[in-house]
Chain A
Amino acid sequence: MQATDIKAASLMPRKKTSEFKEVTRHLIKNRAAVAGLVIIGVFILASLFAPVFATHDPLRTELGNRLQPPTREHILGTDELGRDLFSRMLYGGRISLNIGIISVIIGLTFGVPIGAVSGYFGGKLDIFTQRFIDIMIAFPGILLAIVIVTVLGVGVENVMIATGIASVPIYARLVRGSVLAIKEQSYVDAAHAAGLGDIRIIFRQIIPNCLAPIIVQSTFQIATSILWAAGLGFLGLGAQAPTPEWGAILSNGRAYIRTAHHLTTYPGLAILFMVLGFNLVGDGLRDALDPKTR
């Protein structure tokens, strides 16, 4: 199927703008995808303008005012140290979005060239690379991320690196599959015949033609990375206190789940909706980019 959409895309290289318009049109017709876009939009706006919307300093503790349920003063209540949960959640959204986007960039930067080179040249290089990728895939992503964080040390930056590295094998496998199909296309033969170098062919002819699956995968991967990061934060391996990371807030709130459930409910819902948003958009993009379904 991937081969087909790539073929479709490659058959109309000059109509790039109309292809973009086409995809957008189909995406907007898809209600679920629009809902996803709206959710993501809200989260991005809230994160960008966190300092504007925040009602309190997210790090300011007030021990006399801890574990308060939601009130007019504290919209989502206060946490175990009397910090304003709403303000912490706003800043936490920044961290989650950052982690999602940066880890995807890391995954793309390494995964796409590895997969492309491996698929394009084939032979021993391919076998060697793919067995290595096999080893990485053998670990569930979150486990791989835990191992990497354990080696690198805890902290938000390392979580980005860890979730990024953990997504490298996914991209490498995906791109390799696409490349195997694309390199049999006649325009690649034509490029060879025209005397283009291998590297040039990979970057100018092949990678642009497997963009569709990469874009779809990246959308899903942002959601997955956010979830992994929240998981790491929950385990205490992610953002360190007092950084308001959602997973960490959820983990701290767990001890108070029966006396102050707002500490787990709201960060839990936030993670749920952010991940849902990216997944809905991902689904919509997949349909919109596939000529068969539109």
Chain B
Amino acid sequence: MKKRSIIGALGLAVLMLALAAFPLASRGQVETAVERDTLTIAIGAEPESLDPVKMTSAPAATVGEHVVERLIYMEEDGTLTPMLATSWEANEDSTVWTFEIRQGVTFHDGAPLNAEAVQMNLARFVNPQVGAAYAFLLGSVQDIQTVGEYTVQLTLRQPFAPILSHLSHSFIGIVSPNQIRGIAPEATFENPIGTGPYVMEQWRRGDSIRLSVNENYWGPTPQIPNLVFNFIPEESARIVALETGEADAIMAVPPQDVARLQADPNIDVVFQTSVRTIYVSFNNIREPFTDVRVRKALNYAIDKQAIVDSIFQGSGFVADAPIPDAVFGHTSVGPYPYDPDRARQLLAEAGFPDGFSMTLHHPTGRYPLDATVAQAVQAMLADVGVNARLETREWSSYLQFTAQPPDQAEYDMFMLGWGTVTLDADYGLYALLHTRQWNPNGNNRGFYSNERVDEILDAARIETNPSVRRPLYAEAVELIWNDAPWIFLYNAAQINAVRTHVEGLIHHPLENLSAWDASFR
């Protein structure tokens, strides 16, 4: 009895000592960062899925591309470089594309990468039964065949110029054939088995995803053994995580906190262009927006520079075309200068000397400071006599609301953003402004239509010679600009922040943060 109580007391004492020592130990860890084998990145949203056919967002792409690779990689400057495909060539009229697949690569489960594995993945991606959200990326593909152990052939319905950039899209990832064989066509999986530099370790829902290094990686093995993506939706909490060292890098720093982070000697703030354009679209088939003078007037009424300079503290660029300048096919045609007098004059000419009233729909929390921008736009419109009532909705119902067919669309103006992630004008212009893409068939939610623009966009997607495509897009961009189907606002910038002891992170314009080249100083 006595012995037992002594042991108990000792145990208690040890426990108390351990408890007392614990805060000290953990604090020491943070300050000296002894354990330098794990890189922690805090991102704002949890991936909806890491199954290539289920991915729809930039956060999913950021995590996913460490595990699953695609045939072609798009460098930060837009150059396409070999990834799982080592080379590719097209036949004369660019309707048959042949890809040589990298040899000696194995998936994380040991399965070899070969033509069959690639064929299975691409076939799954375009299979209507699977219903991949981004299946349209390969919409021009008619047939996928293996023609050798390491050769895959894609046959297109007609020439499709951006096919290579589409294949570089983060969502067309190649996963292990075992994983695909193991499930029904319409089923999806959670933890992908890819060929990437990192292997999926653990996904804690609502908290984090943990990856560990792939020792058998075909490329240079990453230096950092473990990679953790923490999901911290609240902006200020993300910043605190970086400041305390809980996270080594964070994405999407709100502009108002940039100055404070820059003042911290242990933190680097990284500005990177983004390929996302933010605009306010008119309902182009609804009065009074059928009148180009009204649409232009509203463009003149908005002080885009002031929005970028003050709300975004200079991080961002006033849009000078419907697509950002990093995109192939971009021509600078704008911006519409801020000229309220001109706006009033145009409104008067269009028969609205006293302005008019309408509703401006906007998202809240989808894009950085979106609601604040909407309020600024509203105030500037009020200055020229246009009385806009603001209305917001939750994101998914907002998308539905702005996806109504023309006879049911109940909106005057709505704010949206579009990332041209293939860095090719086709992805930005065709999807948003071609007449065939009117709701509910596509993303032309403002019902813009211009026959000549349609013609050019059709021609430029079939034409494969860049020196012919470039002037075609230049003409289209100019026509669109003069039709003013949107209030062209700004191209958002990405702001990330990294603790100075980390180097080699890739801040990609496609809103990805990649860690395979990263190391600790």
Contact = CB atoms under 8 A, between A and B. Distances in A.
A64 interface: yes
Contacts of B260: 258-259
Contacts of B382: 59
Nearest to A248: B371
Contacts of B441: none
Contacts of A61: 375-376, 379-380
Most buried by A among B257, B369, B376, B389: B376
B30 to A, nearest CB: 20
A59 B390 contact: no
Nearest to B372: A80
Interface string B235-250: 1100100000000000
A220 B389 CA distance: 34
A135 B507 CA distance: 52
Nearest to A66: B310
A258 B382 CA distance: 31
A241 interface: yes
B371 A63 contact: no
Interface stretch (A4-12, A43-51, A166-174, A249-257): A249-257
Contacts of B391: 154, 240
Interface string B275-316: 000000000000000000000000000010011011100000
Contact of A255 (B236, B306, B379): B236
Contacts of A242: 375, 378-379, 390
Contact of B257 (A60, A66, A252, A258): A258
Contact of B236 (A59, A80, A82, A258): A258
A256 to B, nearest CB: 6
A195 B364 CA distance: 62
Contacts of A59: 379, 382
B210 to A, nearest CB: 30
Contacts of A38: none
Contacts of A67: 256
Contacts of B311: 63, 66, 80-81
Contacts, number: 66
Given A236-B364, A241-B374, A257-B236, A81 B256 contact: no
Interface string A47-90: 00000000000011101101100000000000011100000000
Interface in B351-397: 364, 369, 371-372, 374-376, 378-380, 382, 389-392
Contact of A236 (B235, B259, B372, B392): B392
B378 A63 contact: no
Interface string B157-200: 00000000000000000000000000000000000000000000
A154 B362 CA distance: 14
A256 B309 CA distance: 17
A254 B256 CA distance: 12
Contact of B375 (A64, A241, A254, A255): A241
A263 to B, nearest CB: 11
Interface string B249-265: 00000101101100000
B460 to A, nearest CB: 38
Contacts of A63: 303, 306-307, 309-311, 376
Contacts of A254: 236
A80 B372 CA distance: 8
B511 to A, nearest CB: 20
Interface in A231-282: 236, 240-242, 252, 254-260
A241 B236 contact: no
A4 to B, nearest CB: 49
Interface string A115-141: 000000000000000000000000000
A241 B390 contact: yes
Contact of B235 (A81, A82, A252, A255): A255
Contacts of B380: 61
B288 to A, nearest CB: 23
A151 B239 CA distance: 36
A287 B236 CA distance: 45
Interface in B325-371: 364, 369, 371
A255 B260 CA distance: 14
Given A236-B392, A258-B257, A258-B260, A81 B306 contact: no
A60 B375 CA distance: 11
Nearest to A259: B256
B392 A240 contact: yes
Contact of A81 (B239, B309, B379): B379
Nearest to A67: B256
A254 B234 CA distance: 10
A66 B375 CA distance: 13
A272 B307 CA distance: 33
Contacts of B376: 61, 63, 81
Given A242-B390, A258-B257, 10 more contacts: A61-B376, A61-B380, A63-B303, A63-B376, A64-B310, A240-B391, A252-B371, A257-B236, A258-B236, A258-B239
19 contacts: A60-B379, A63-B309, A63-B310, A64-B310, A66-B310, A80-B256, A81-B376, A82-B310, A241-B371, A241-B374, A241-B375, A241-B378, A241-B390, A242-B375, A252-B371, A254-B236, A255-B235, A255-B256, A259-B257
Identify the 10 closest CB pairs spanning chains A and B, nearest first.
A61-B379, A63-B310, A63-B306, A241-B375, A241-B390, A242-B375, A259-B256, A240-B390, A236-B364, A80-B372
Interface of B: 235-236, 239, 254, 256-257, 259-260, 303, 306-307, 309-311, 364, 369, 371-372, 374-376, 378-380, 382, 389-392
